[in-house]
Chain A
């Protein structure tokens, strides 16, 4: 049973389609990056998943059950959405309010305040918290029920570099316990080092879902040569497309071996042949531009 299943989810606001026919399923023990530009429909999807917005059609479930039917929701799902608090309530009281509703012992509140590094600020009103402190408090709230699934919407907003590293370590240990993380971001570099899989959406539609490593494997080759025309012709004769770039050629869809043989057969001078990993950013834009083209 998938930990999170989004099935044919569509959400319209009036005439505006925020999410359209979106489907994906996440297995337990994975960290999945939920990627898309601002306005692509990430937050809407998460809000439907978390029961805060009703889908126009389709379903979003945890272990096959909508959040509203979970017996103990806080022990199944923890979420960080907008990190907003009553400004007059202390961080500790915010957590106590939630712990009380979820029948979680108060001792757990202080344990989490220590874990997220807010023990010293717990007695202060949340209205005075920095953005980073708010994110940490929101994370503590998400972790209160020791849930099986974490859903995080842009959790690194306002976190300092130490905080980002800390969060990464936390999510990995969470994953290593067989739990599931869905973390949205519009910054690929940020999640690329943390996630196992990515779900990429654009304009509310699924663009790609798979292991982050598979995306990275879509590499290109760079050939540095003074004889661009001759090599282009030699590659074309073997059905390999190439384009002039940066003192040579960029070749896609061919192995270094294939290119090397073409070079030898044509007798052209080559100074360098190297593979170029497409960054996740380039890949993302390539994927989403294909969709919107």
Chain B
């Protein structure tokens, strides 16, 4: 993995609208998610509790993580869909180096996006609460912890996406697998099996424990354990992608 290869991968994301749209829309989502707060009647706004800011900071985190999962899938599987993997590997023939560069670039974009989303969420939250004369009862430490959890979750989801897209190669299948997992498996399986505690052991639960680092939700793992679990998932999926990429011919 070289710095040049990573810069090249970042340029790929910046220069294709379908890829650049993912971080841009993630920030847009963070902005749009203030809609409900703005729609509140003035009396209810003034009656908001002092720790609302923490909820605002945590709000867009999970959608952001899923978006970064998709960014990783699109960045990796898109190379096969559009045939650009050939040109990529001619310049960076080491498959491991090529994958590492893409993973690093997508992770960097995810981290920057997460920081921007956090800045938007907290910045708006502060302005909104002050405008409504709500005393903010949230420490900077808790905000930093939430921001840190958001960045870590976004980065680990992004890496998982790169691994998934590299392993499956078929972009439609990889996007479908990601959405089915997030939307159906994690949501439905614990309910269908009547084992709600299962969710805490799934990536979605782990992501939520990271997002809630400052105020741990009762049914989930502690943030550090959730982070480790997500790290393990990302490492396993990226390793699967690396195994497929190094063993299979690029047709």
CB 8 Å contact bits of B82-99 with A (1 = contact, 0 = none): 111011111111100000
B82 touching A84, Cβ below 8 Å: yes
Chain A residues with CB under 8 A of B87: 94, 98, 141
Chain B residues with CB under 8 A of A82: 83, 86
CB 8 Å contact bits of A67-107 with B (1 = contact, 0 = none): 11010011001110110111111100110111011110000
B86 touching A102, Cβ below 8 Å: no
A51 at the interface (CB under 8 A from B): yes
With A53-B250, A74-B91, A100-B7 already in contact, the answer to whether A90 and B15 are too (CB < 8 A) is yes
Complex Cα distance A98/B86, Å?
Answer: 11
B72-128 with Cβ < 8 A to chain A: 78, 82-84, 86-94, 101
Chain B interface mostly helix, strand, loop or mixed? Answer: helix
Interface size on B, residues (CB 8 A): 27
Complex Cα distance A50/B87, Å?
Answer: 10
A54 at the interface (CB under 8 A from B): yes
Chain B: CB-nearest residue to A82: B83
Complex Cα distance A53/B88, Å?
Answer: 14
A85 touching B84, Cβ below 8 Å: yes
A77 → B minimal CB distance (Å): 7
B63 at the interface (CB under 8 A from A): no
With A88-B16, A101-B88 already in contact, the answer to whether A51 and B93 are too (CB < 8 A) is yes
Interface residues, chain A, CB within 8 Å of chain B? Answer: 47, 50-54, 67-68, 70, 73-74, 77-79, 81-82, 84-90, 93-94, 96-98, 100-103, 141
Q: A52-B250, A96-B15, A98-B87 are in contact. List 19 more A-B contacts (CB 8 A).
A: A52-B249, A53-B251, A67-B93, A73-B91, A73-B92, A74-B90, A79-B90, A82-B83, A84-B82, A84-B84, A85-B83, A86-B16, A89-B16, A96-B11, A101-B5, A101-B88, A101-B91, A102-B91, A103-B4
Interface residues, chain B, CB within 8 Å of chain A? Answer: 4-5, 7-8, 11-12, 15-18, 78, 82-84, 86-94, 101, 249-251
